[in-house]
Chain A
Amino acid sequence: EPEVTQTPSHQVTQMGQEVILRCVPISNHLYFYWYRQILGQKVEFLVSFYNNEISEKSEIFDDQFSVERPDGSNFTLKIRSTKLEDSAMYFCASRGTRGNNQPQHFGDGTRLSIL
């Protein structure tokens, strides 16, 4: 069964550094998402991406964050200048059809640790 894959599985970065988290969604999917889960807290929506542009974003997704789908297969999340509070699990997800009544498929996540 097709899977969403995320790399790296664990990223350790110094505060203030840029970090890029990578995702390969399921190949024929149309909608792409990033979520994060701070340890012990609920999963939070960051951004959705459709038709090569951001379709919706949360208050968390400020100017320090950006997303890109550079080559039709990868979907990346960039944090320009990381902060301690960016430490979390980051999950990528994708969804296939135009309708909302379809599930999202999640990757296993990247654990981001900011020192």
Chain B
Amino acid sequence: SQQGEEDPQALSIQEGENATMNCSYKTSINNLQWYRQNSGRGLVHLILIRSNEREKHSGRLRVTLDTSKKSSSLLITASRAADTASYFCATVSPNAGGTSYGKLTFGQGTILTVHP
């Protein structure tokens, strides 16, 4: 089974528009995180939402979490050309023993292109 699946796979918008990306997962989680990856670079952490939180904001980012549906969304408002990147959700879940050392399980990602 796949943990952390995003949709859409690719999203193309104009500067100034909002971009919404969705993520679904299958197991119980401690938290869900969103990362950005510019081409050829590492992953940059954007925002973390804990399993007991429903919504979180950071600047132009808004993340929601629905644990009953095992889904999350990332909204980027007033997008800029510099937001062009791949966006990944990643979950941290307890292991079989109930502990966790923070292993991230990533989705396939959404490629966002923002046209100036």
Q: What residues make up the interface of A, taking CB atoms closer than 8 Å to B?
A: 4, 31, 33, 35, 41-45, 48, 50, 55-56, 91, 93, 95, 100-109
Give the docked Cα–Cα distance between A42 and B35 (Å): 12
B77 within 8 A of A: no
Cα of A43 to Cα of B103 in the assembled complex, Å: 12
Taking a contact as CB atoms under 8 Å apart, the answer to whether A100 and B106 are in contact is no
Q: Which residues of B lie under 8 Å from residue A108 when comparing CB positions?
A: 40-42
B33, B43, B44, B103: the one within 8 Å of A56 (CB): B103
A-B contact pairs, 13 of them (CB 8 A): A31-B102, A35-B104, A43-B43, A43-B104, A45-B105, A55-B101, A100-B92, A101-B31, A101-B50, A102-B48, A103-B45, A106-B45, A108-B42
Give me the interface of B with A, judged by CB distance under 8 Å. Answer: 30-31, 33, 35, 40-45, 48, 50, 88, 90, 92, 95, 100-109
Partner of A31, one of B101, B107, B109: B101
The reply to whether B88 and A48 form a contact with Cβ atoms under 8 Å apart is: no
Option from A33, A41, A105 in Cβ contact (under 8 Å) with B103: A33
Tell me the complex Cα distance, A103–B109, Å.
Answer: 18
Q: Is the CB of A95 within 8 A of B102?
A: yes
The distance in angstroms between the C-alpha atoms of A14 and B90, with both chains bound, is 33
Residue of A nearest to B2 (CB): A42
Residue of B whose beta carbon sits closest to that of A56: B101
Interface contact B103-A45, CB-CB below 8 Å: yes
B42 touches A43 (CB 8 A): no
Q: Bound state CA distance, A106 and B108, in angstroms?
A: 18
Which of A42, A48, A103, A106 is close to B48, meaning CB atoms less than 8 Å apart?
A103
Chain B: minimal CB distance from A38 (Å): 12
When distances are taken between beta carbons in the complex, the residues of chain B under 8 Å from A45 are: 103-105
Q: Which residues of B contact A56 (CB under 8 A)?
A: 95, 101, 103
> Ordered nearest first, which 6 A-B pairs have the shortest CB separation?
A103-B45, A106-B42, A55-B101, A43-B106, A108-B42, A106-B43
Bound Cα distance from A56 to B101, whole angstroms = 7
